[in-house]
Structure 1
């Protein structure tokens, strides 16, 4: 595929070698000579950089070493002036020099530096050029992965910003990449796409290039007829390339050689040799090798040997030229680096002297500034010190007055707090007394009025002659009597709970003993009551609350537990720590259900909890803890 690359190179750039280079080069040199001394003006220096690069480009056509020299000069000036656009042109010129010397690594290094700046400055044309060059250099180094990345990037930029010719060439590059990897199917896909786009450009050079590349892929795929169609078309189209006829006829000769049609192969190879430009030794070398192979198959060993000798001589000369160019480049690069080192050394010396003068001047100026600042600050410090002393005395007086005021205010707040505690206690006592009086009044109303009414109703009901009633009426009669008795008992219990006479007479422990003994006489559940500790120091309010809660828990056990045994423990550890433990062997309860819904009757968890909250709110100094235990329920509820 290197033949294809060489062909494309001469196709687009070969004609420039024979242009009118001298006149343009002389004109550029005259403009450069008229410029003022370097470093006087930024605008003139940027113009100088552009002239260096343009002159270097002209020297690429005739004196390549001079091209390298002007590229280095341009780069050195751009670095001094930080002229980024000039750096791009300088790096491209130097990269082109290395590329012409087949030093792909050095060429890629300079192209990459140029590309980084071109992307920063959004220079589209330079990006199109550089991505293609970098991809080609990586390809020459057989780094196919990197080559693909840059060729792909080149295609994307050309499709978005470039011309049809740019895009066609970018697709051609991808075809060359896959051809060199022997991936001919992939290569053919890109070359056919390039062929389609080349027709849109109407550029005969590009059309011929795409035809030849497609033909070469068909040769590798052994599709010789398709290849011959492409090569014959390329022969007809005139593109101005001197060695086109030689190049194409040599490719046709190779096809006939592979088809073993030696007569046609020899004819095409001779045309190729005759059409070869004497200046293009590489073309003569390729045709000589083809002729040598043809004559070898024809059995003409003499002609085969002659052409092979010609092929070998040109190959040796090319290798020798490459080696000489490499040595010359190394010497040139060495001398250039030495020159640059000397220039940098001189620049460094000048800078050092300039810096020394600046440092000396700066030191004197700094010393004067320090002396002035010292005098100024010294005066300011004295004034500030006097002001601070005055402020300090004022703060000390304020602190003394503040301490007296704080002490006085603290005493006032302490007295007010004591008075507030006393008032709060009086309010609590008054509230309790009011509640007690109201309890007694409500209990009296229930017992005297509602209780009497219920007793009278029961008495009148019993006065009825039940024997005269039908069986259905008697059943209703008996039911009403039971309900009346229950209602009377409930009113009596409510009255007793609101204002228990036994509590007033016997106190907490005595009234609970009496109440539990009465229950044990009339109910099926056997209650045991235990207590420990001293209950005498507990306030009447807390005692009454404990009595009410205990009765409520006992009533809940009677109504809902279906138990046969129950225990009530009341433990007084101190005035501020009381435990009430109620236990039964009944059916138990579901804590989750009780927490999720309201029951019309007392709930065994929620109501003790509520009562405990009420006790704690009314008596902040007393903590009452209630424990309800069921022997059949694994989860003990501690409230």
Structure 2
């Protein structure tokens, strides 16, 4: 668990750093000498604060914990931790990160709480969200899973809404929040929930083009499937994760994936030796963080124990022992020094806190009196404003009801027309074809020449094929299975039938709760998916497509994805099918997200079941 949360922690911290004008994150790549020289050349306090903090963050990135803590202590001595500004939040956050990195999770939680206090005073929702995220992942390490989940959801709820400049940063943080919730659910053996939330994390990672988030979420999928002994899907996502990570040069992720590969080939010693050697070569070739080496050897040891590979097991255990000895020597000295400093500083801050509380109480008395007078003055004005708002809401509600009724009438008319056409096809053309076949069958077959017999047989086959085609068109126009078997069975049958008539593999998946909706709503959802799949077959030139439905609590999450070429913008604007999809999405009060790239097209639909119209 720690491997994944640590990655999320580092990335989210870098997100929050990018908000602060006085701390320029682009300097993190400078050499150590250049960083220290910058600090020495500072001629004012503001410059010293900026450079000492950047040095602390830089040395943490380089895994030099002692140097990072020393530079952070310099920053603390230059500022007042009681000041309400973003620098204070960053200092507490980085101290929390240092504690987290060394396993001092309760200390890390205390620092996250301090960061949250200042972030709430600043009313900075992104910094508040980061603080709750830090607190949640440390509680996960303490195995307090219920509390951890509560704070991870708080982090999600404090994400900025409709702010363009923070959209990308929010998407990346959402990816890490949902990924950690998925791991938490996996730890609780709630597989469906783990898949559901990791699907959301994967969507956010792809939406923000997160170079690290995409291989991480793919790796989480692989771990979930490995726990379910689903080796086929585990291998699928491991290969995806390896390619994504190699493309972005995240070789630590690649190393962990190599370790997970060992669990996919427990009964094949030749392949486990191959993947193990690949991992050892990667460790020798690349500068991989010692934390990820530790995690890899822990995974490898578990695999070799299961497969009883004594030689590899002994080698991996020896490596892990040496690494842990090195880590212990470094961490023990750090922990002794920092805990002593921490408690000395806490006593000093406690006295300052008591003085501050006294001054704040006096200010609060004056403030409450002033607010009371303002509230009383605004009371009557608010009463009249509220009455006007109620009237406006009634008008908007009536307009919405008229729009819903209009859309429902249009779709109802369309369904009736489809049923009429299906009936005409079935009773008319199909009956005529059967009548023609009957008359042809009355011809004396034996009296025909060999050439005419061949033509006769081809004619009968063509009539049979035409009957099947008409029957399939009739069923597509009016899917009676929805009334008899429900939405999921109808969609599964539909995808299976299409594979028989088109050269494309359509994989239908359903996770989560059973779907129980009115037949009218289920038909609308069926039509949306049918239109999307038809577009893939007609325009995408795809060899494979996935239709996935996740139903959890009061949400329905639909993904339709293909590996084709997508379609041009002119096709998108002119397509009647996409306009029909848009009208049905509007009727359901749902949202539709699209992504088009060289690897294919993805449509993601999110339906709040509490917000669909009552029909």
TM-score w.r.t. the length of structure 1 is 0.45
Flag the structure with larger Rg.
1
TM-score, length basis structure 2: 0.47
